[in-house]
Chain A
Amino acid sequence: MSEQSLSEKSPVSEKIPVTVLTGYLGAGKTTLLNRILSEPHGKRYAVIVNEFGEIGIDNDLVVGVDEEVFEMNNGCICCTVRGDLVRILDGLMRRKGKFDAIIVETTGLADPAPVAQTFFIDENVGRKTKLDAVVTVADAKWLNERLKDAPEAKNQIAFADVILINKTDLVSPEELSDIEARIRGINPYAKLHKTERAKVPLDAVLGRNAFDLDRILDLEPDFLGGDDHDHHNHNHDHGHDHDHGHGGLKHYHDEEMQSIALRTDKPLDPDKFLPWVQDLVQKEGPNILRCKGILAFKDDDQRFVFQGVHMILDGDHQRPWKAGEKRDSRIVFIGRNLPGKMITDGFESCIAK
Chain B
Amino acid sequence: MAASGSDTVSVVERTRPLTIGGGIVAAHFLGRTAAFILGEEAIVLAAPDGESRRIAAHGGAILATAADGARIVSGGDDGKLVATDANGETRVVASDPKHRWIDHVALGPDGAVAWSAGKTAYVQAKESNSQSNKQSNREPRAFEAPSTVGGLAFFPKGFRLAIAHYNGATLWFPNAAGAAPERLEWKGSHLGAAVSPDGRFLVTTMQEPMLHGWRLVDRQHMRMSGYAARVMSLSWSASGEWLATSGAAQLVLWPFQSKDGPMGKTPRLLTPSGHRIDVVACHPRTDVIAAGYNNGLVLLARIEDGAEILAKTPGDVPVTALAWSGDGRLLAWGTESGEAGIIDLG
Chain A interface (Cβ < 8 Å from any Cβ of B): 60, 63, 66, 68, 70-74, 81, 83-84, 86-88, 91-96, 98, 121-124
Contact = CB atoms under 8 A, between A and B. Distances in A.
B229 A91 contact: no
A93 B187 CA distance: 28
Given A71-B188, A83-B147, A94 B207 contact: no
Contacts of A94: 23, 25, 39-40, 61-63
16 contacts: A70-B189, A71-B187, A71-B188, A72-B188, A72-B207, A73-B208, A81-B189, A83-B147, A87-B103, A91-B63, A91-B77, A91-B101, A92-B61, A94-B40, A121-B207, A122-B230
B36 interface: no
Contacts of B39: 93-96
B207 A122 contact: yes
B64 to A, nearest CB: 9
A334 B168 CA distance: 35
Contacts of A87: 103, 148
B207 A70 contact: yes
A90 to B, nearest CB: 8
Nearest to B166: A70
Given A70-B207, A95-B39, A95-B61, 6 more contacts: A66-B148, A72-B208, A73-B188, A91-B61, A91-B101, A124-B230
Contacts of A74: 208
Residue from B77, B210, B229, B232 with most neighbouring chain A CB atoms (10 Å): B77
A72 B210 CA distance: 12
Contacts of A73: 186-189, 206-208, 210
Nearest to A9: B294
Contacts of B61: 91-92, 94-95
B226 interface: no
A93 B23 CA distance: 11
B320 to A, nearest CB: 11
Residue from A86, A87, A124 with most neighbouring chain B CB atoms (10 Å): A87
Contact of A84 (B25, B40, B148): B148
A20 to B, nearest CB: 20
A83 B229 contact: no
Nearest to B147: A68
Nearest to B188: A73
A71 B208 CA distance: 10
A86 B150 CA distance: 11
Interface string B71-110: 0000001000000000000000000000001010000000
Nearest to A79: B208
Contacts of A68: 147-148, 166
A7 to B, nearest CB: 15
Contacts of A96: 39
Interface string B178-213: 000000001111010000000000000011101000
A158 B40 CA distance: 39
B118 interface: yes
A70 B188 contact: yes
Residue from A60, A73, A86, A123 with most neighbouring chain B CB atoms (10 Å): A73
B60 interface: yes
Residue from B62, B206, B207, B210 with most neighbouring chain A CB atoms (10 Å): B207
A93 B191 CA distance: 18
A95 B40 contact: yes
A83 B146 CA distance: 13
A296 B229 CA distance: 32
A81 B210 CA distance: 16
A173 B103 CA distance: 51
A73 to B, nearest CB: 3
Nearest to A94: B39
Contacts of A71: 187-188
**Closest A-B pairs by Cβ, 4 of them:** A73-B188, A94-B39, A94-B61, A70-B189
Given A87-B103, A94-B25, A60 B147 contact: no
A83 B189 contact: yes
Residue from B166, B186, B189 with most neighbouring chain A CB atoms (10 Å): B189
A329 to B, nearest CB: 32
Nearest to B41: A95
A83 B62 contact: no
Contacts of A60: 60
Contacts of B23: 94
Contacts of B166: 68, 70, 83
